[in-house]
Amino acid sequence: MKIGVLVSGSGTNLQALLDAEAGGTLAPGEIAVVVSNRPGVPALARATAAGKHVVVVDHKAFAERGAFEDAVIAALAPLTPRQRAAVVLMDVLGLSSEEAARALGVRPSTVRVLAGRGRERLRREMNRNG
């Protein structure tokens, strides 16, 4: 089971989860992504040191919530339909690559590539528009 962890501070709760994962007590869970709405918080350094995928979406960079949502939608637009589907299935709905692959009718390795390319493109678009 893929787990996304939301952080906004020092990351002590994240560290407890990382320790549990390393010790095998989080199984079958696996921390797949760490997300923060606050850039530069110590939790992000912890996540990076643990080799976790980190995403920062600083909502304060937008004048209003609608602008933030518009930026996210605009960032998704350049993705191919298959990349968009892979990112949503895995990162929004939390499906494993095997589950997402079955939903899309492709191999798990293909869905991982699609999601990875989609995430990278999304990151570039968010940096450009944010």
pLDDT digits (tens, 9 = 90+) for 30-79: 887 787 778 899 999 999 999 998 877 787 888 888 887 776 666 667 77
Q: Which amino acid is at 93?
A: L
Q: What percent of the chain has pLDDT over 70?
A: 88
- Helix-then-strand count for the chain, H and E: 6, 3
φ, ψ of residue 55 to 5 degrees: the values are -130, 130
More confident position, 21 or 61? 21
Cα(106)–Cα(12) distance, rounded to whole angstroms? Answer: 38
Q: Please, which residues have CB within 8 angstroms of residue 111's CB and are 6 or more apart in sequence?
A: 86, 89, 90, 97, 100, 101, 104
- Joined together, the tokens standing for residue 8 give 């906004």
Q: Specify the CATH architecture of the domain 63-130.
A: Orthogonal Bundle (1.10)
Position 129 confidence tier, pLDDT thresholds 50, 70, 90: low
* Residue-level pLDDT at 55: 76
Task: Provide the residue ranges of all domains of the chain, joining segments of one domain with +.
Answer: 1-56, 63-130
- How large is the C-alpha radius of gyration of the chain? 15
Cα(97)–Cα(12) distance, rounded to whole angstroms? Answer: 29
Cβ–Cβ under 8 Å, residues 92 and 124 = no
